[in-house]
Structure 1
Amino acid sequence: MSSPDNIPYRSIIQIDKSNSQHVYLQIAQQFIQAIVRGHLRAGAKLLGTRQLSELLDVHRNTITAAYEELFAQGWVEIIANKGTFISSELPLLNPSTEREYSYPKTTGYRFRKSFLLDNPFEKNNYELSFNDGTPDIRLTQLDDLSRIYSANLKRKVNRRKMGYYNHDGSEYFKEQLTMYLQHSRGLAISKDNLLITRSMEMSLFIIAEIILEPSDTVVVAELGYFSANMIFQKAGNRIKTIPVDEDGIDTNALRKLCEQEPIRMVYVTPQQHYPTTVPLSAQRRMDLLQLANQYGFIIVEDDYDYDFHYEKQPILPLASNDQNGMVIYVGSFGKSLAPGFRTGFIVAPRNIMQEMRKHLGIIDRQGDILMEQALGELIQEGVVDRHLKKSIKVYKERRDHFGYLLSEHLGERVQFTTPKGGLAFWLNWRKAINLYELAKRCAAKHLFLPKTLLYQSSKTTGTRIGFGNLDMEEMEQAVKILKLVLEEMES
């Protein structure tokens, strides 16, 4: 048994009085680290509380509290009339080297890595930035949002309910969102057909977990949403692609696939196809529903941009005409609001909704009852409708002006059709150019063009460019930079 005098206490214990953590806990934790690293061996006797308090220049009660903490955690044994000893039941550890301890840089074990889920998004601090079609948070009516959220936070009844959150979601919000979807999208549903999620990606993840087996075939568009494709590929599914033209996905190509092999799921964005922004024509909508009924595949309808339309009322979702329960409808609510006030949802028949709630209860049991309560009130008070009407006028003006700028400055280089809805344009380049070089040169001029917007292959040279986040002056600057870079690349 080693002598307490042989232990280098001053080296082991370094007290930081500026640290908000209690001193006795600092001492206890540093003793634990010394034991784990092998500096203190099982059975070693520690100095008495009086001696150690004098050595470390702290109150004796602080040392007593530290020893009691070590005893409570099982690191030391306190033997009456003998002293405090490192527990003799601890496993023998190899003494560490003399180098200063640092947190491990790598694990000591192997694990599976997924390259499919590498984050495709890039961070930027540029003055100007294109994106794939997100709203401008500067248009958000933060006063209404903060008023309703703050009111819910202060209500005593909500404080009582917060401890009893049901992972199925706020019943009040589900009732309000159900009525909103009935009114705006023609969905003849009840709240039992609705699942509240955090995002479209979470919705697709839950669907894939329930619906898909690794051997299943999922059909997506040749040009499609990368996050959805990542989720399906991660599930191990066989991915088949079909072409997209000015009428949306090619349902004739889909029919040929169905004749060749069983198809489990078809993922579509029919309102504004991602990324090309073209709507799925009425004829192809009917074809798609007929094929689903005939061949038994599931349609996952992602309606990511339904609220943003400019010419007339948008075509109702496929799910509004689904009579055989073949469509799972995925959407987002509050996209025009501040980021923290947005949420996702799934609409599907009641029997599969029961299974979805089980999975949601595992990955998101806590939920956000205050946010859902506030969103419900935003619907009931008409704030969402009023804000959408105001913001759509602004976005329509921006869309028209952005189209004018593209024609004026880039008309000889790109082809595009002004979108009837959504917050982005799809540009087809008349001549093949190196889009990654374009993005690199734009970045040098403080214009960010994310790689997720660039679609380049032997068949396609296209770019999806959002306009919603830019005001008139900003989009003029951005298009002029784009033009200048193209001129440099051509010279």
Structure 2
Amino acid sequence: MDSPVEVPYKSFIKIDRNSETAMYMQVTHQLINAIQRGYLPFGTKLPGTRALSQMLGVHRNTVVSVYDELFAQGWVDSRPNKGTFVLGKNEEKPTKIATVKTYNLKSYPESAGFSFKASNILDNPFEYSNCEYVFNDGVPDIRLTQIDQHSKIYSSILKRRAHHKILGHYNHDGSEFFKKNLSNYLNLSRGLTISKNNLLITRSTEMSIYIVSKLLLSEGDTVLVGALSYFSVNMIFQKAGVNIVSVPIDNEGIDVESVQEICKKQKIRMLYLTPHHHYPTTVTLSAQRRMELLNLAHEYGFIILEDDYDYDFHYDKSPILPLASADTEGMVIYIGSFGKSLAPGFRTGFMVAPENLMIEMRKYLGIIDRQGDVLMEHVLGEMIAEGEIHRYLKKSLKIYQERRDYFASLLDEHLGDFISFEKPSGGLAIWAEWKIPVNLMQISRDCSKKNLFIPKTLLYQNKNLTAMRLGYGSLTAEEMKNSIEILSKSVHMRS
């Protein structure tokens, strides 16, 4: 438009001077709404900062902040000596890249012309299926994720000129802004007393454990794990060439007396455990055993590698604080993931350890992940700083608790005569043990034919145990009902 002042801005911009929302954000939100509704179409020239400030009766600096925010979020473009213009959809069709046809080219070789070591240990244990219904080991429902909102935050950060310089630099140390906010978040939510210098940002829990294994484990070391433990972590330990010793698990978590007896007989380098909700059984390590383990670690000098993989998911009571919160001797390495309830692309792993150890860990991270993802970390840091992560968790926890309760009622209704289980206080999966002899692999095959996929990684069967870990977090009520009915019919057919 040639005359931007002709647009009736005062008709759709109303300022509430008593609102807790800053005036510049009020104006920004209403201008964005006007653009979205077509009141300010693509190419509209906005008034100068002085003209709009006089029109709205606000300080010119307020309008400057409005335009800066609109630019950061990608709604406007500022053109030197011309003004500020509304951006919109570009109607020009992109030119397609022509397909290059090649003829008579020798195919790429199917096999390497040199020898190399193949690893059976690292074979991918995960299975995939096109079945309509799928049980997993307890992952969030991506459909609950507010991807549009997260994407807007990412876009806003990407367009801020102050961040452009980080795009041209390698930074495996990660975002200082994110580490500062994450350390505060962990201190408040998990009883830790750390600074950003105690944090290492990784891509995942598995990457964290891999770095730990490379730095702290040597071939022949002994590592203790639960008699039932996370298979992916066991693979990493096996690849490191360590001696893995299983410790019994009961309804209070790992058996501390067994740990002590092993320590009396041999040197232990590390104990790996998931105390908040043991994987896969979901039991919580009791408070007394937590203190006993810390004392044993100090007495015998072994490392406690604490994996808090689902701390954010707790329903019935306040979560149990991690062992790391009570560690005064520097024996615990605490690992977890942040943003697990968000879409996978918005999640990250982290590790907490004493600062002198962290210095060495950063060297390893610099080799395997030199670039890092500083922009995404800025997004997560902003979600913490603005309280967005708290609001999202509060909303999603209510949904997951309802799903847990409904899933447990379905299990009781359809399979109560065949399985026993305890409704977990948190997490996204239920551990179910079978009361009758049943072939779980056969049940899994039967269900697959009826459009329900149960991966073999969820099945636990030996001469002493027949059990399943059934994830409910990613299923709606209707999907749960249909899945349990399929499983129930398969069990009744085979029993």
Question: What is the TM-score normalised by the length of structure 2?
Answer: 0.79
Please name the residue that 2:274 is paired with: 269
- The aligned amino acid for 1:19 is T
1:243 matches 2:248: yes
Please state whether the residue corresponding to 2:333 is helix, strand or coil. Answer: strand
1:345-377, Cα deviation, whole Å (9 max, x unpaired): 000000110000000000000111110111111
Please name the residue that 2:436 is paired with: 431
Matches within 5 A, 1:111-126: 111-126=116-131
1:396-447, Cα deviation, whole Å (9 max, x unpaired): 0110011100011100100000000100000001123111111111110010
Distance 1:435 1:110 in 2: 39
Please name the residue that 1:209 is paired with: 214
2:305 pairs, out of 300, 303, 313, with 300
1:19 pairs, out of 71, 85, 99, with 99
Shift of 1:312: 1.2
Checking the alignment, whether the CA contact within 8 Å between 1:144 and 1:383 is kept in structure 2 is no
Matches within 5 A, 1:34-433: 101-433=106-438
Checking the alignment, whether the CA contact within 8 Å between 1:165 and 1:369 is kept in structure 2 is no
Q: CA RMSD in A?
A: 1.4
Distance 1:224 1:432 in 2: 23
Distance 1:373 1:100, change over 3 A: closer
Distance 1:146 1:184 in 2: 26
1:115-144, Cα deviation, whole Å (9 max, x unpaired): 110000011111111000000111112232
Structure 1, unpaired ranges of 5+ = 1-16, 31-98
1:474 matches 2:479: yes
Please state whether the residue corresponding to 2:154 is helix, strand or coil. Answer: helix
Structure 2, unpaired ranges of 5+ = 1-96
Please state whether the residue corresponding to 2:341 is helix, strand or coil. Answer: coil
Checking the alignment, whether the CA contact within 8 Å between 1:173 and 1:373 is kept in structure 2 is yes
Please name the residue that 2:87 is paired with: none
Checking the alignment, whether the CA contact within 8 Å between 1:176 and 1:379 is kept in structure 2 is yes
Please state whether the residue corresponding to 1:463 is helix, strand or coil. Answer: strand
Shift of 1:462: 0.8
Shift of 1:163: 1.1
Question: What is the TM-score normalised by the length of structure 1?
Answer: 0.80
Please name the residue that 2:469 is paired with: 464
Please state whether the residue corresponding to 1:400 is helix, strand or coil. Answer: helix
1:450 pairs, out of 430, 455, 464, with 455
Shift of 1:20: 4.8
Kindly report structure 1 stretches of 4+ aligned residues shifted beyond 2 Å: 17-21
Shift of 1:109: 1.4
Aligned residues: 399
- The aligned amino acid for 1:251 is V
- The aligned amino acid for 1:330 is I
Please state whether the residue corresponding to 1:335 is helix, strand or coil. Answer: coil
Checking the alignment, whether the CA contact within 8 Å between 1:217 and 1:239 is kept in structure 2 is yes
Checking the alignment, whether the CA contact within 8 Å between 1:248 and 1:281 is kept in structure 2 is yes
Shift of 1:394: 0.5
Please name the residue that 1:94 is paired with: none
Distance 1:186 1:288 in 2: 18
Please state whether the residue corresponding to 2:288 is helix, strand or coil. Answer: helix
Checking the alignment, whether the CA contact within 8 Å between 1:255 and 1:291 is kept in structure 2 is yes
Distance 2:243 2:482 in 1: 43
